Amino acid sequence: MRTSLVLPTLAVLATSALLVLVAAACAAPKQAAPTGESSEVRVVAREFSFEPAMIEVQAGRPLTLILENQGAVEHEIEVHGADIHLHAGPGQTVRGTFTIATPGTYEMACEIPGHKEAGMVGELVVR
């Protein structure tokens, strides 16, 4: 008799837990950051990758991009179509602040010969 109650009780508990999670997600406030507020993104460069390889920012909002080169050779980030270029020697960290007005997906790559071809590419998504 007891085993026949276990499965329905587990189903009720699982459903209740799921409903609590859904309600909490719906109740969470969603606020857009003010247009004038800047965002800061750190990108780590290694042989031969960016981390993160995808960055999302808001159009018209200043972006401070930090390139931290943890590799043994020089690396850079160039964002095609957005006039962004940062260059860092081994162990260096550099930063620049940029504002991109036009939404879209921009390719970012290390343009040092052979690095892009080895996989140092990513995307900057402007919403």
The answer to the question of residue 2 being in a domain is no
Contact 73/46 with Cβ under 8 angstroms? no
Domains: count for the chain: 1
pLDDT of res. 37: 58
124 to each of 2, 84, 85, 104, how far by Cα in Å?
Answer: 57, 11, 13, 8
Q: Residue 4's pLDDT is what?
A: 56
- The residue written with tokens 């007005």 in the block is 101
Residue 45 lies in a domain: yes
In a domain, 16, yes or no: no
Q: What is the pLDDT of residues 59-73, one digit of tens each?
A: 999 999 999 999 999
User: How large is the average pLDDT for residues 1-9?
Assistant: 52
Residue 105 placed within a domain: yes
**Helix, strand, coil percent content, the chain, rounded in steps of 5:** 20, 40, 40
Specify if 20 maps to a domain.
no
Tell me if 53 is assigned to some domain. yes
DSSP code, position 19: H
Q: Within a domain: residue 9?
A: no
- Asked if the structure places residue 19 within a domain, the reply is no
pLDDT of residue 17: 39
Cβ atoms of 43 and 123 closer than 8 Å:
no
Q: Give me the domain span that covers residue 105.
A: 39-126
- CATH at residue 62: 2.60.40.420
